[in-house]
Amino acid sequence: MTCILGMQGTAYEEEGATLAAPPDTAGGKDPLKAVGSTVSYLEKYTLLASVGMHVYGADPEAVSPHLPEEVTRTILAMMDAETLDELQALYKPAYSAAFGSGDSASGKALLGAKDKRKAELMGDEA
């Protein structure tokens, strides 16, 4: 997918960003829906990259579709945490539950999301 920027009424045109990805078969999508999902995702992110923007806060597409729903909800809430205390209060019980049940993939996803948001909050507080 390539995003090409142009200015209406002028000859101005500039190639922005190019991204590629395989069809999104997560959740048992049929082949047509898998391609449509990937195209939609790539359209969004090539446009954002072309104009120099990125998504802040909770971006549902940034969370793996293979995680349990409650873990996904916790990660999205962690992305919106406004303080380190709030972040820790969301993270600790979810992380303990994930590893207590043997779900290391969820535990790792929670840890990664916590570390990312912590770095963002630390940067904001500096």
Q: Is the pTM of this model over 0.85?
A: no
Mean pLDDT over all residues of the chain?
Answer: 81
* Contact criterion met (CB below 8 Å) for 16 and 3: yes
Which element (helix H / strand E) includes 122? Answer: helix 104-125
Q: What is the pLDDT of residues 29-49, one digit of tens each?
A: 888 988 888 888 888 878 877
CA dist 25 to 32, 35, 46, 55, 86, Å? 10, 8, 20, 23, 34
Q: What is the pLDDT of residues 62-119, one digit of tens each?
A: 555 567 888 888 988 998 899 999 999 999 999 999 888 888 888 888 998 899 889 8
